[in-house]
Amino acid sequence: MGGLTANYLTRAEIWLCITTLIYFLMNGAQIFETLVFVPKWTESAPENFKLLLDGKGASLKVFWIIFHSLHEIAFILAIIFCCKLTLSETGF
């Protein structure tokens, strides 16, 4: 395995798993928003607009900014921790 240690490989695998998990959670949230939240929200538009405007409901803008930021940070960390890996060392 060259200069790679078991600790390095474990850390790389953990960050790959974390970024993949966040990616799938983000896609699940997008599907939920598309299939459940948006149809309910647009069902009776004037009354349901309060969900986002009265301050008591969900703030989709803040939610997506935080979620995408977390994913991008985890993705960058995964790239950093996996940068020493090559195809021949991973067995693929």
Domain limits for position 71: 6-84
- Write out pLDDT tens, residues 7-61: 888 888 898 899 999 999 999 988 988 898 778 777 776 666 666 665 666 677 7
Q: Are the CB atoms for 19 and 75 separated by under 8 Å?
A: yes
Q: Are the CB atoms for 20 and 77 separated by under 8 Å?
A: no
pTM surpassing 0.75?
no
- Write out pLDDT tens, residues 56-92: 666 777 888 888 899 899 999 888 888 877 655 555 5
**In-domain check, residue 91:** no
- Cα–Cα separations (whole angstroms), residue 82 to 1, 13, 23: 14, 8, 17
**In-domain check, residue 66:** yes
Structural domains counted in the chain: 1
**In-domain check, residue 34:** yes
